[in-house]
Every structure is written in structure tokens, then in C-alpha cells.
Structure 1
Amino acid sequence: MARMTHSDVEAEVEIRRYRPGDAADAAALRRICVRTGYNGGDARGHYRDPGVLPALFATPYAELAPELVFVADEGDGPIGYIVGAADTRAFYRAFRATWLPRVRDRFPELAGATDMDGELRGLLHAPERMIDAEVVREHPAHLHIDLLPRGQRRGLGTRLMTAYLDALRERGVPGVHLGMNPANTAAHAFYTRLGFVTLREPTEEAQVLYLGLRL
């Protein structure tokens, strides 16, 4: 029997568009987001309800911008995804108008809470806080990308990113940005290899590193 090579294994993973209305795809996005939502690791046990993570960073994209959602499918379902929006301001307007009413009761704000739960729920109820006016001026699109551990270090992140960036270019989008934890040096190195540059350093008020790429 012929021995399978690394390239043979990679060829078995399909990068495809998300399937709106497909319950399995929707569940996979939620699961992957939770399993990678705590500094790249499993968020279960670290939040009152880890479902706030996909409610903020995954499912609204599948609902509001499914044409820009791509998944890495190993054959038995997605093991990673990339989501985003071509126009950040328009996306968060739609988020507030049509998505927030669907989830606000499950994830009420936590008055006075300064932990991760409090911060995430605060963002959910005030999504405009995720807009940096200077950043979106020349980089109006944004993205989130996550891969389960078994999908990492296999070139799938680059393939997902390529599919997403090509879709943005087809729409004439001039630039894309992302916000990341500055302590995640592996992710920073990945984005740098793809050509992303620093747009805004973290501040005392917001420990977020903004990176961007002109398209």
C-alpha cells in the first residue's frame, strides 16, 4: 500500500463556503469558537456561559454575512473557520438591529463586572465599541479565524485566509483589519507572514493589538 504524504493529507481537507441553514455547519462554528476561545484553548469552565463567545465572534457572521464565511472541512465536518465583514460599520449596525435582540436575554449585561464575562457581554450589548474609527478608515473589513488543535500547523490557516482575502478583493474592499491579544505571539507571527502590519498598539484602556493588510 502506498504511503500517504503530507500533501495527500492536506488535499483531503476542503476549504469551502459555509452552508447557510445547515445545522451541522452552524453547530461546528459554535463548537470551534468555544473550544478555541480561551487564549487559543478550550473556554469551557472559564466563563459563566461560554456560549457568549460564538454569540459575539462566530454566529452573527453566519447569519449576517454568510457569503464571507469559509470552513476547513476534513470530510466529517468543519475543524476550522474564518468569518468577517467587508464593511465593519455596516456589520455592527446590522448586529445591533437584528442580532442583538435575539441573544440579549440569554446574555444580559453584568453590571459592574470587570472580568472576561463582563467585558464580553459589554461588547455584545455595545458592539460599536469594537469599531476603531482610525483603523476602519483605510481597513474597513475585519475578520476572525479559528482552528481546532488538530487543524493547526497544517497550512489550513493560510488557505482559509486566502479564500477570505480573495473574496474581499472581488468586492473591491481596500483593506482588512483584526484585533488580537498581544500575548499571542504565534498568531502574531502568522499574520506577519501574510503581510499584516501593526495599525495600533495596545493601550491601558484596551489591551488589543490591531493589525491590518491593504488589499
Structure 2
Amino acid sequence: MNITIEHPTINDLYELEEICLLTSDSGKDGTHLYSDRRLIGQIYLTPYVLYDPTCCFVAKKDSKCIGYIVGCYDSREFYQYLNNEFLPIIRNRFTSAITENDKAVINMIQNGVEYEIYPQYLPHLHIDILPEGQGLGLGRKLIDTFTKNLKDHGYNSVHLGVSNTNKSAQGFYKKMGFSTLIEKPWGYVLKKDF
């Protein structure tokens, strides 16, 4: 078994969008939540890879994508790109909603993503790993790689959001040194200084 961690390319997007879908139900397979397999990735994955792949990493096992960590150095700049450049390009492709989750994501695509800025925690991340990649220390490796990259670019902190229903991820982030920045109705914004 050969596991590598590298920056993603456009050629990885299909596999990465599948991982995003297959982990979109609080870490479990979310296929039943969306009528279009690519939809959820249009908010939580694809724009990061297209915006700045140097702030994204993919884990591959024998050349197959099994996990990723994507993010940005400056959340303000990323959300401006997302709302003003990326979403307008895809708006006409994603218009019909069948499920409630479709409606929520399509609403973001059509109307833009609302966001909060945490000035001391400008970078943020999303991480997803398929079950076959879990328990191998891959989550730790991805976060360590990501935070080292942030340090190399002059940043010393990061934040992320985690659902209040995803207890497994909450435990993992706690082990990784994250703590609560703010509690939200949907879950928690966690922070880490390094």
C-alpha cells in the first residue's frame, strides 16, 4: 500500500467530488441527500481546488484519491472569489432542487454564500477521508501537511466548521488540538493556533 499526499490537479476533481459526496452526511455516505452527485462539491470542494491548489492536498492510495484537505489562506479573499467569480459561472448548471439538501446548496449557488470572518483565524479548511483511509493516521498527516503549508506562507492559525451531529469528527479535532471558537445552531467553529 503506497499512500502519497500531493496538491490536487483538475484531473482529480471527479474523484474528490465523489469523496465530498460520500462523506457529506456527517462523515457518512450522503448520496441519499442529493439528487446530483456533483452538487455538494460545488460549495465545499471544487472552488478551493480551482482558486488555489497550493492550499489543498489530496491523499492517494496506489494512485486512487481516498481523502483530501482543502482550504484557503485568507477567507475574505476566498469568499469574494466564490461569490463573485465561481458561483456566477455555475449558476445555470444547478437550478432544480429535488431534496431539501439540494435546495440548501442551490440557494447558496444562486444567492451566494454567507460567511463570517474571524480576523485572527483567516485561513480555513475542510477535510474528508473515505472509510478505507480512516484509522491510518491520514487525518493527522493531512492536517500536519496543511498547517505546515500555512506556516510556510506566514500564517499561524486556522479555523473550520463541524456539525453538532458529527461526534467522531469533533473528537478527532480535539485530539488534533482544535478548540471551540464559537458555537453555532448547526455546530461549532473550531480554531487552532500553531
Q: Same fold (TM over 0.5)?
A: yes
Q: After TM superposition, give the deviation of residue 114 of structure 1 in Å.
A: 9.5
Q: What is the aligned partner in structure 2 of residue 65 from structure 1?
A: 52
Residue number in structure 1 paired with 2:91: 104
* 1:158-206 per-position Cα deviation (integer Å, ceiling 9, x unaligned): 0011111111111112321111111211101111111111011123xxx
Q: Does the Cα contact within 8 Å between 2:33 and 2:99 map onto a contact in 1?
A: no
3-state SS of 1:90 partner: helix
Pick one of 4, 12, 16 that aligns with 1:14.
4
Alignment partner, residue 42 of structure 2: 55
Point out where structure 2 has 5 or more consecutive residues left out of the alignment.
none
Partner of 1:202 in structure 2?
184
C-alpha separation between the residues in 2 aligned to 1:52 and 1:117?
7
SS at match of 1:173: coil
2:176 aligned with 1:214: no
The corresponding residue for 1:124 is 109
* Aligned mate of 1:141, from 123, 134, 137: 123
Q: Which residue of 2 aligns with 1:3?
A: none
**Sequence identity of aligned pairs in percent?**
32
SS in 1 for 2:165: coil
Whether the 8 Å CA contact 2:69–2:142 is kept in 1: the answer is yes
Q: CA deviation at 1:41?
A: 1.9
**Alpha-carbon offset, residue 105 of structure 1:** 1.1
**Amino acid corresponding to residue 104 of structure 2 in structure 1:** E
Q: TM-score normalized by structure 1? A: 0.83
In the alignment, structure 1 residue 44 sits paired with structure 2 residue 31: yes
Equivalent position amino acid for 1:147 in 2: I
- The alpha-carbon deviation at position 64 of structure 1 amounts to 0.3
The aligned residue for residue 173 of structure 1 is 155
Over 3 Å counting, the alpha-carbon distance change for 1:125 and 1:171 in structure 2 is farther
Question: Within 2, Cα distance between the matches of 1:128 and 1:34?
Answer: 19
Deviation at 1:154, TM superposition (A): 0.9
User: Larger Rg: 1 or 2?
Assistant: 1
Cα RMSD, aligned residues only = 1.9
SS in structure 2 at match of 1:50: coil
Inter-partner Cα distance in structure 2 for 1:114 and 1:137: 35
Q: TM-score, normalised by structure 2?
A: 0.92
Asked if 2 retains the 8 angstrom alpha-carbon contact of 1:34 and 1:51, the reply is: yes
User: For the residues of structure 2 that align with 1:198 and 1:56, how far apart are their CA atoms?
Assistant: 23
| Paired amino acid for 1:28 | E
Contact 2:18–2:37 (8 Å) recurs in 1: no
Instruction: Give per-residue Cα distances to partners, 1:52-101, cap 9 Å, x unaligned.
Output: 11111111111001111111111132110000011001001111222112
Q: Amino acid of the residue matched to residue 154 of structure 1?
A: L
Structure 1 partner of 2:173: 191
1:109–1:122 contact (8 Å) kept in structure 2: no
